[in-house]
Structure 1
Amino acid sequence: MRASAGGGGRLLRGGREVARALLVWVLTAGALMLLDEWLTGFRMPEWWQPTVCALLFGVLSAVVWPLVLRVALPVAVFTLGIGSFLLLGAGVLAISFAVPGVVITDFGTAVVVAVAVAALGSVVSGLVGLDEDELFFRRAARRGVRSGTTGDGSMPPGVLFLQVDGLGFDTVRRAVRDGDMPSLARMLDEGSHRLTGWHTDWSSQTGASVCGMLHGRNDDIIGFRWYEKDRDHVMACSSPEDAAEIERRHSDGCGLLAVDGAARASLFTGDAAHTSLTLSALPLISGAGRRGRGIDGVGAGYYAYFANPANALRTVAGALVDVGREISAAVRQRRAGVRPRVKRGGFYPLARAGTTVIARDVVVSAIIEDMLAGRAVVYADFLGYDEVGHHSGVERFDALAVLRGIDRQIGRLHRATQLAPRRYHIVVLSDHGQTQGWAFTDRFGESIGALVGRLVGEPQPDPRRGSHLDAGRSAERWQIDAVLAEVSSGGGPIARRLRARVERAGAVDRPRPPDGGPADAERVAPGVVVVASGHLATVSFTRHEGRVELETIEREYPELLPSLVDHPGVGFVLVRSAEFGPVVLGRDGLRRLATGVVIGDDPLEPYGPHAADLVRRVDTFPHCADLMINSRYDPVRDEASPFEPHVGSHGGLGGAQSRGFLLHPAELPPPREIVGAEALHRVLRGWLTHLGHPEPRPADGQVQERHVAVLQVHERGVPELPGAPCEDHPGE
């Protein structure tokens, strides 16, 4: 159908392209005449000069500029696109030297001319209906005919997995209902898509979720950051080297994107043949490639986008608007005394524009290129909402504004799928949600690291280290002091029980062993490492190898556990006992995970029916910390205090952070309940199989490596979470 209708359409589109080129040429010449009249320092005295300069500017934009950008790309990227117009201004200045009689008195005038002409080109494209989407349609039809892939029905539909980072199930439902995501609402209203939720792992953060979704495994990923005692190293999913190491541990070469796939703006590659803006691939870009696969350069997506000056202009305008929106939102929050809030000044407004505007637009451009190439499966991550949610709040007005921008891009991609070289399905999903709350340091006057350091007997000269308190907080110091005094009293039943155990042991003053050697991780006290990761914090005692048991902690740090479980910001603590195995301690009760015995109130009850299985699974991980601390969740107010300076946050259990969403085509088999990112991988893989995509086949060495890894997992006794394998239930 598409091929048969393509002849007349190609002639029409070709004619429109020629018409556009002529119209741009004529209007650019007219614009240069107007600039000659209005702009001081720009003179074109002869009648023929505007026509020639317009032609040369077209050549500059279409031919010379893309070549220059290959060298000068960092200038465009790190200046939010402004640098590209400085370079174009230099090109306009060169044109003035090349055309006799044309005068541009200074560089600033040349930049103004470059911006004006680029803006005109963008406006003309809109007037003749050749925006990015229509340009995509035209190129797709041409490429499809050349490759022989248009309309033959031999290929299974491609799939676009579009991840909206940090968007929880509850928030997306309200956004669809209230008109903040009209594109998603339209898909649901038309019946083409269905919306469902999925439950994350205990580590409700991008590292664990994306690794599980793309590679089918996320065991031993404790948080976004965690300490590995055997290496004396803090792993961080935001580090390219650590991300590459995480992927090395979990990839078997058969990731979700292994067969003709592309990963855009992702933490991990999913074994894709084509990657750009993907963190785990960055250390390998200068090498020969990964497992025989090609890797697009780190700037590939940016180059494809900024090669068009009109794109650069639109990005500059959008970035400046977003910087202004951020500054305005921060001022409004501060003036209104909104709580919770964090400081949002410094470099953050520019960094925010980088994720909400530049990265978003570049990712969409890369996806369009992938569709033009007819790639089978594409995964892309839109980061902007998560970033703004951390600093502004989960559903505050500027966070919802960012969400509306992402929704517009999803709608644009959905329209583009209609005329791609192959048919495409769109699946929209999130890696986790966010739970809002007043940051732990701001609320209680000291960070979780300072609290642990103080409880193990180490003086803390700056207990608010790392906090984002403003000057107004000093008036509330008496409330902080009252909280600290209450914490130190240890009035809860579990705290009293722990203190009684220590007293019976008679070992409160027993000498402690010496500290270990030099460290890669910061100690809050000699031999004590604390790492915060959203609503999760880990404590490791480096004087001991392996997992340190509850009895040893009681002996060496008798005040630590009682005070932690009694702290109003701590929900529960996981610790391993020599007598009872893994134990979850809360203020008013405990739960022995090995037997299911609960004494007092179940500390996991506020965290949902899957909490025990998820926590038990983490206890089996080789790098599970000696203490795993989850923030306290208040189900009445639906809030919790993160251990990092965030408003909306995630990383642990409690509230919306554990509930991601999945919007999928209605024609795909609906999944049963999904618990954990590995179960979600089985769903996504099952859908690809259902659509006719071939199964990836790893190299022999990778098969053996995968086999050994699976045996190790089973030997450690990692419990199987709810969810059926796709072999038994297609699509699940």
Structure 2
Amino acid sequence: MQTATTPKPPARRRLFGFIVRVIALGLIQALTLWGAAAIIPGIDVPSFGAALSVVIVLAIFGSLIWPLITRLLLPLTVLTFGLLALVATTAMVWLSLGVVDHSNPTVLGSFFVAVLMTVVSTIAGTLLDVDGDAYHLRVVRRRIRKSRGVNETDVPGVIFFEIDGLGEQVLREAVDSGRVPTIARWLADGSHRIVGWECDLSSQTGASQAGLLLGSNENMPGFRWYEKERGVLMVSSSVADTAEMERRASTGSGLLAVDGTSRGNLLSGDAPRASATLSVVRDKDRSQSSEFFAFFSDPSGMTRTLVLSVHDMILEKVAYWRQIRSGDEHVHRGGIYPLLRAAMTVVMRELNTATLLADIVEGVPVSYSTYVGYDEVAHHSGIRAPDALTVLGRLDRQLLRLERAIPQAPRPYEIVVLSDHGQSQGRPFRQRCGQTLEQVVEQACSSESGVIAPPAVAESWGEIGGWLTELSTEDSAGGRMMARATRSFVGADGVALGPGREAQDQHLAITNAADADRPEVIVLASGCLGLISFPRTPGRLTLEQIEHQHPGLVASLAAHPDIGWVMVRSETEGAVVLGAEGKYRLSDDSVTGVSPIAHFGANAADHLRRHDSFGHCPDLLVSGAYLSDEDEIVPFEEFMGSHGGLGGAQMHPFAIVPSGWSEIAAPIVGAAAMHHQLKAWMVEGGLPVAQSPAALE
């Protein structure tokens, strides 16, 4: 890691090593082409020298032609999921073969050569440790010469690298087992240390990022919640709702407010520049898809991304098959899921890294990026599943790429790795008891007039939809092409694909319903947290009112063997937490019988008191059971790894920070507390931060 006192590696040595590795890679590509010509019909390469010439011409064509195509058709490249890059590579192979030996290669043969050379180059480049980001960084340097000069300083910048959903314990296990060699090296060298912290209830990305990036996550009771006074269903993966969340929480003093950038996050942290950030995709003063230009301008990089995506889909199918064959607990993940997973674990990973590399070369003071791949796979496979840990190892590789780019920056940099929450393992509620939470509520309610549970769609669909919305609103030829290509998928909240469109329509129907047409009961799941509201009755219902309307409902929920506790407000006792064998009164911490929150963490009561104070706290807050002996939670969603509530590893994220940063004065509890700690560390390093209005008074 390069800091203000660490000299850059000798330029000549770096250049010599790079040239040697590139020559070796070129020779391997030439051998691949020469061998391919012997077995692929329609391809004629008479000698190894001719093959080497083709490789050189191919590199020249890639440098001259593809950047022009990308500048014109960037959104279309994205829409085709990189297939346009493969088409371009095929065309360049065809042209290169014709230029070198004046042959007439077939298009199909050129296609197979393009795929084969990409696969071999990807493997060989990794084994040879070739800096595959060199082309990308050259493009960036040409585009930002002026800003590089402005940002030249000895004050270290900070790159915040968030690994969504990774708990501290799983991280430590991955370090010990060698799964994350870059992080392990930093810890062993003493350049970094791990700081554990505790996130809020609810333990999910929307609330955690609001706290981390904006300094406040008040009144965000779940990933989804119902606001009675407005009759609105809020969803943390909605373009419009994340914009509203940011409007409410922002004071203009976010973590990234002073010349920072936001890359692939739900919320922007008040960054003046952003890409793939859901809350600002429609703010064209801050969010521009042109930030992706350097990444998409490299045809080999795009083709490599496509090949890696196909590889990831194959790995997913193999991992799923092994879980089924071994009899391990699992959830269904067929259909389009492998493609969705590849988009999150490969495409978004590569895009985030590309934009962070550009930020480093430009000298941006502070940047924050969220990598969602581990969270996505751990949800479906399990928090310690081999394929989840494989994804984690690939994220560690991105840290190495960033570290290697720092010597090319106009300033030193510190890299901080952190998570927003953890995940807890556990088989879904429906698998355990044969019913969903909605069905349990419906069965216990006295009325048959409408218990609804709007579908809980993976947040990945919202992120992809938001990204496509950003690209389709770009004021360019490519943006207009993207808008035409996605117009049949556009709803009120922007582009929505797959189950996201159905969820968006239901979301809109609930929001637009007249008072008389509101459902009687809404049941929402946020991991292991259930939020139950009664929309037809204004204000927050008390235990007594609910008992009058639906006798036995609360008692039935509290006694359920797969439910840990139910929080409700009583007219006589205030907020109480009810369990199968006892009651906890939050006003004075008194316990009757067995405390239902005894195993949910030392700060469980404080988290619940805070939640109870929210104006948007649901009428009933329900938690899945926590099996402390097994460290497992019971989620209401169809996940093997989950978060959103209290109990176990989901509450314990981490931050890997430079060892030179000061020690924390007290345990960090809550994302807002971590926000202020991160700012304090930035100030120690000499970076300016925006002060909140309250701090200035």
Provide the residue aligned with 2:58 in structure 1: 57
Provide the residue aligned with 1:131 in structure 2: 131
Contact 2:162 2:419 in 1 (8 A): yes
Q: Are the structure 2 counterparts of residues 651 and 22 from structure 1 closer, same or farther at C-alpha, using a change threshold of 3 Å?
A: closer
- 1:519 is aligned to 2:518: no
Provide the residue aligned with 2:287 in structure 1: 295
Provide the residue aligned with 1:230 in structure 2: 229
- Once the two structures are TM-superposed, the CA of residue 264 in structure 1 deviates from its matched residue by 1.1
Contact 1:536 1:652 in 2 (8 A): yes
Contact 1:389 1:395 in 2 (8 A): yes
- 1:324 is aligned to 2:323: no
- 1:397 is aligned to 2:386: yes
Provide the residue aligned with 1:556 in structure 2: 549
Provide the residue aligned with 1:275 in structure 2: 274
Return the match for 1:686 from 656, 673, 680: 680
- 1:220 is aligned to 2:215: no
Provide the residue aligned with 2:108 in structure 1: 108
Give the match's secondary structure for 1:539.
strand
> Residues 650-680 of structure 1, C-alpha deviation per residue, up to 9 Å, x if partnerless?
0000111111111111110111201010101
Give the match's secondary structure for 2:281.
helix
Name the CA distance, whole Å, in 2 between partners of 1:247 and 1:346.
34
Provide the residue aligned with 1:584 in structure 2: 577
**Most deviating of 359-368 and 551-560:** 359-368
Return the match for 1:424 from 380, 398, 413: 413
> Following superposition of structure 1 onto structure 2, how do residues 578-727 of structure 1 map, counting pairs within 5 Å?
578-671=571-664, 672-696=666-690
Contact 1:139 1:372 in 2 (8 A): no
Name the CA distance, whole Å, in 1 between partners of 2:148 and 2:195.
37
Contact 1:45 1:101 in 2 (8 A): no
Provide the residue aligned with 1:713 in structure 2: none
Provide the residue aligned with 1:207 in structure 2: 206
Name the CA distance, whole Å, in 1 between partners of 2:14 and 2:194.
37
Letter of the structure 2 residue corresponding to residue 104 of structure 1: P
Q: Are the structure 2 counterparts of residues 140 and 669 from structure 1 closer, same or farther at C-alpha, using a change threshold of 3 Å?
A: farther
Provide the residue aligned with 2:495 in structure 1: none
Give the match's secondary structure for 1:667.
coil
Contact 1:96 1:102 in 2 (8 A): yes
- Once the two structures are TM-superposed, the CA of residue 192 in structure 1 deviates from its matched residue by 1.2
- Once the two structures are TM-superposed, the CA of residue 112 in structure 1 deviates from its matched residue by 2.4
Q: How many pairs were matched up?
A: 641
**Most deviating of 401-410 and 427-436:** 401-410
Contact 1:447 1:464 in 2 (8 A): no
Contact 2:532 2:619 in 1 (8 A): yes
Provide the residue aligned with 1:572 in structure 2: 565
Q: Are the structure 2 counterparts of residues 27 and 171 from structure 1 closer, same or farther at C-alpha, using a change threshold of 3 Å?
A: closer
Q: Are the structure 2 counterparts of residues 129 and 561 from structure 1 closer, same or farther at C-alpha, using a change threshold of 3 Å?
A: closer
Name the CA distance, whole Å, in 2 between partners of 1:615 and 1:693.
36
- Once the two structures are TM-superposed, the CA of residue 595 in structure 1 deviates from its matched residue by 2.7
Give the match's secondary structure for 2:155.
coil
Q: Are the structure 2 counterparts of residues 62 and 176 from structure 1 closer, same or farther at C-alpha, using a change threshold of 3 Å?
A: same
- Once the two structures are TM-superposed, the CA of residue 406 in structure 1 deviates from its matched residue by 1.2
Provide the residue aligned with 1:346 in structure 2: 335
Return the match for 2:535 from 525, 535, 542: 542
Q: Provide TM-score, normalisation by structure 1.
A: 0.78
- Once the two structures are TM-superposed, the CA of residue 178 in structure 1 deviates from its matched residue by 1.9
Return the match for 1:334 from 320, 324, 334: 324
Contact 2:233 2:510 in 1 (8 A): no
> Following superposition of structure 1 onto structure 2, how do residues 124-273 of structure 1 map, counting pairs within 5 Å?
130-132=130-132, 154-273=153-272
Q: Are the structure 2 counterparts of residues 542 and 68 from structure 1 closer, same or farther at C-alpha, using a change threshold of 3 Å?
A: same
Name the CA distance, whole Å, in 2 between partners of 1:402 and 1:25.
29
Name the CA distance, whole Å, in 2 between partners of 1:316 and 1:34.
23
- Once the two structures are TM-superposed, the CA of residue 9 in structure 1 deviates from its matched residue by 6.2
**Most deviating of 307-316 and 20-29:** 20-29
- Once the two structures are TM-superposed, the CA of residue 32 in structure 1 deviates from its matched residue by 6.1
Contact 1:198 1:673 in 2 (8 A): yes
Give the match's secondary structure for 1:378.
strand
Name the CA distance, whole Å, in 1 between partners of 2:403 and 2:31.
37
Name the CA distance, whole Å, in 2 between partners of 1:356 and 1:601.
43
Contact 1:157 1:425 in 2 (8 A): yes
Provide the residue aligned with 1:388 in structure 2: 377
Provide the residue aligned with 1:85 in structure 2: 86
**Most deviating of 554-563 and 60-69:** 60-69
Give the match's secondary structure for 2:185.
helix
Give the match's secondary structure for 1:104.
coil
Name the CA distance, whole Å, in 2 between partners of 1:173 and 1:50.
47
Note the aligned Cα RMSD (angstroms).
3.9
Give the match's secondary structure for 2:282.
helix
Name the CA distance, whole Å, in 2 between partners of 1:212 and 1:629.
23
Give the match's secondary structure for 2:511.
coil
Identity across the alignment (%)? 38
Name the CA distance, whole Å, in 1 between partners of 2:201 and 2:609.
10
Contact 1:456 1:525 in 2 (8 A): no
Name the CA distance, whole Å, in 2 between partners of 1:122 and 1:178.
25
- Once the two structures are TM-superposed, the CA of residue 606 in structure 1 deviates from its matched residue by 1.2
Q: Are the structure 2 counterparts of residues 45 and 61 from structure 1 closer, same or farther at C-alpha, using a change threshold of 3 Å?
A: same
Name the CA distance, whole Å, in 1 between partners of 2:618 and 2:438.
14
Contact 2:442 2:451 in 1 (8 A): no
Q: Are the structure 2 counterparts of residues 641 and 63 from structure 1 closer, same or farther at C-alpha, using a change threshold of 3 Å?
A: same
Name the CA distance, whole Å, in 2 between partners of 1:8 and 1:621.
53
Q: Provide TM-score, normalisation by structure 2.
A: 0.82
Q: Are the structure 2 counterparts of residues 185 and 123 from structure 1 closer, same or farther at C-alpha, using a change threshold of 3 Å?
A: closer
Name the CA distance, whole Å, in 1 between partners of 2:115 and 2:603.
56
Larger Rg: 1
- Once the two structures are TM-superposed, the CA of residue 218 in structure 1 deviates from its matched residue by 0.4
Contact 2:243 2:279 in 1 (8 A): yes
> Residues 93-149 of structure 1, C-alpha deviation per residue, up to 9 Å, x if partnerless?
5667889953133x3223224345556776897799751366789899999998786
> Residues 315-367 of structure 1, C-alpha deviation per residue, up to 9 Å, x if partnerless?
2332222212111111111111112x101111111111111222212211211
Name the CA distance, whole Å, in 2 between partners of 1:181 and 1:129.
17
> Residues 357-400 of structure 1, C-alpha deviation per residue, up to 9 Å, x if partnerless?
22212211211111000011111111111111111111121111
Provide the residue aligned with 1:313 in structure 2: 303
Q: Are the structure 2 counterparts of residues 11 and 432 from structure 1 closer, same or farther at C-alpha, using a change threshold of 3 Å?
A: closer
Name the CA distance, whole Å, in 1 between partners of 2:528 and 2:50.
64
Q: Are the structure 2 counterparts of residues 28 and 325 from structure 1 closer, same or farther at C-alpha, using a change threshold of 3 Å?
A: closer
- Once the two structures are TM-superposed, the CA of residue 29 in structure 1 deviates from its matched residue by 7.6
Letter of the structure 2 residue corresponding to residue 433 of structure 1: G
Provide the residue aligned with 1:714 in structure 2: none
- Once the two structures are TM-superposed, the CA of residue 36 in structure 1 deviates from its matched residue by 5.1
> Residues 202-232 of structure 1, C-alpha deviation per residue, up to 9 Å, x if partnerless?
1000111111000000001111111111222
Q: Are the structure 2 counterparts of residues 147 and 571 from structure 1 closer, same or farther at C-alpha, using a change threshold of 3 Å?
A: closer
Letter of the structure 1 residue corresponding to residue 104 of structure 2: V
Name the CA distance, whole Å, in 2 between partners of 1:677 and 1:618.
14
- Once the two structures are TM-superposed, the CA of residue 25 in structure 1 deviates from its matched residue by 8.4
Letter of the structure 2 residue corresponding to residue 591 of structure 1: Y
- 1:364 is aligned to 2:353: yes
